[in-house]
C-alpha cells in the first residue's frame, strides 16, 4: 500500500509540475505596439488637382475639427480642372 501511495503522490506531483509549465504569467510578450502617428499634411498634393472629384475627395479626407494644425500650402502651379461632365457633389 505504501508503494501505491508513493506512486500516486509522484504522479500527482508530475502532473502538477507539467501543467504549471503551461501557465505563463509573463506580460512582456503581450505588449501592444502603439499605432504610428498620423501623417501630417502640410500642402495640397498634386493628385488632388487631377479632377474636381479628386480635389473634393482630398478635402473630405481632412479632419473637420482640426484646429491645431498649420494651414495647407498650395503650389503656384496647382489648378483644379473643371469637371463639366458629372453632377455636382454636395459638400457636407
* Reported pTM: 0.45
pLDDT at residue 7 tops 60: yes
Query: Could you write out the three-class secondary structure of the chain?
Result: CHHHHHHHHHHHHHHHHHHHCCCCCCHHHHCCCCCCCCCCCCECCHHHHCCHHHHHHHHHHCCCCCCCCCCCECCCCCCCCCCCCCCCCCCC
Residue with the bigger pLDDT between 80 and 59: it is 59
pLDDT in tens, 45-78: 888 888 878 888 888 888 777 777 788 888 877 7
Amino acid at each position: 500500500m505504501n508503494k501505491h501511495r508513493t506512486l500516486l503522490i509522484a504522479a500527482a506531483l508530475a502532473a502538477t509540475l507539467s501543467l504549471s509549465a503551461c501557465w505563463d504569467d509573463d506580460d512582456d510578450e503581450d505588449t501592444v505596439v502603439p499605432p504610428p502617428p498620423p501623417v501630417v499634411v502640410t500642402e495640397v498634393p498634386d493628385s488632388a488637382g487631377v479632377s474636381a472629384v479628386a480635389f473634393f475627395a482630398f478635402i473630405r479626407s481632412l479632419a473637420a475639427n482640426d484646429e491645431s494644425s498649420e494651414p495647407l500650402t498650395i503650389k503656384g502651379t496647382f489648378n483644379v480642372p473643371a469637371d463639366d461632365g458629372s453632377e455636382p457633389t454636395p459638400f457636407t
